[in-house]
Structures are given as C-alpha cells and as structure tokens.
Amino acid sequence: MVTGLSTPDFPLYHSGTAGIATNSTGDKWIFPVPFKANVMRFGLVVQGSSANATAAVVALDHRVTAGSDTGRVELLVISKTASVSQQGKFLYQDPATSIAVDEGDELVVEVTTADGAANAMTPVVILRQIPEVAGNNSAMVAA
C-alpha cells in the first residue's frame, strides 16, 4: 500500500473558482501529466452543501494517449456520503499499489454517478516525480 505524502510531491488541481459540477455525469476535468510520476492521492474539496439521497461518485481515469479514450483505465473512485452535507471537507483516495503515469498521459476526472442536487467539488491529484533522463522517455520530445 502506498502511504504518506512528502516532498517532492507535486499537486495538480482544478483552478476554476466554481469547481466541477457533480449534478451531471461525464468528463469534467483533464490534468495533463507533466513528468513521469506515481499517483499518490486523488481528492475532492466539496464546495456545495448538497445532502441529497443520491450522492456523487467521481472517478480518476488514466488516458495513456492524450485526447484518446483507447486504453483508458479507471484508477481511483470517490463516493460522497449520501444524505449528508460534506461542504468544506476533503474527500480522498490513496492507491493501494503504485500507479505510474508518463509525460503526455492525461488524468481525467469523471462523474460516474450524478449528485441528486446541484453541487460542486474541486479535484486535486498529488503526484510524486520519478527521476528520469528525458532522453530515456520516448514521450518527451525536445522542441
């Protein structure tokens, strides 16, 4: 099990002021992967106060080729507690085993079950860089 966060961990986060809407399903945000890394944590800051009986379920998916769903895999899933307002809470999942991603990959935040009421959450992904020489990675191209 992968546990604990420490430097040099690097956060990727949604910078929109309203977060992502969780009252409809589908892809909500795409994080481009800037370097070879392990995914250490996926989290959501709950902004809305929904206490609906149908709670949002949000997944973090891995696209191995940017812009393509070929080979797309679901990595981690977070379920908001139904019938309870979790406004201001940070919901998170840590991977049970190492999840490596490469430059040029994408991490996609997808709402798989919509919240029964209007709600918003801010997604966060924590990466830990894997040291690598750029020349050893075919996904990196000097321009």
| CATH code of the domain containing 108 | 2.60.120
Residue 10 lies inside a defined structural domain of this protein:
no
**How many Cα atoms occupy the beta-carbon half-sphere of 103 within 13 Å?**
15
For 4, the 3-state DSSP assignment is coil
Residue 136 phi, psi dihedral angles, 5° rounding = -90, -5
Residue 134 lies inside a defined structural domain of this protein:
no
| Domain, as residue range, for 67 | 21-126
For 132, the 3-state DSSP assignment is coil
The pLDDT tens digits for 94-112 are 999 999 999 899 999 999 9
> One digit per residue, pLDDT tens: the chain, 143 residues?
455 555 567 777 766 666 889 999 999 999 999 888 999 999 999 988 888 888 899 999 999 999 999 999 999 999 998 888 899 999 999 999 999 999 899 999 999 999 988 888 999 999 998 887 777 777 777 77
Q: Total domain count for the chain?
A: 1
Residue 138 lies inside a defined structural domain of this protein:
no
Residue 61 lies inside a defined structural domain of this protein:
yes
Residue 139 lies inside a defined structural domain of this protein:
no
The rounded distance, in Å, linking the Cα atoms of 34 and 42 is 16
Residue 28 lies inside a defined structural domain of this protein:
yes
Residue 9 lies inside a defined structural domain of this protein:
no
Residue 83 lies inside a defined structural domain of this protein:
yes
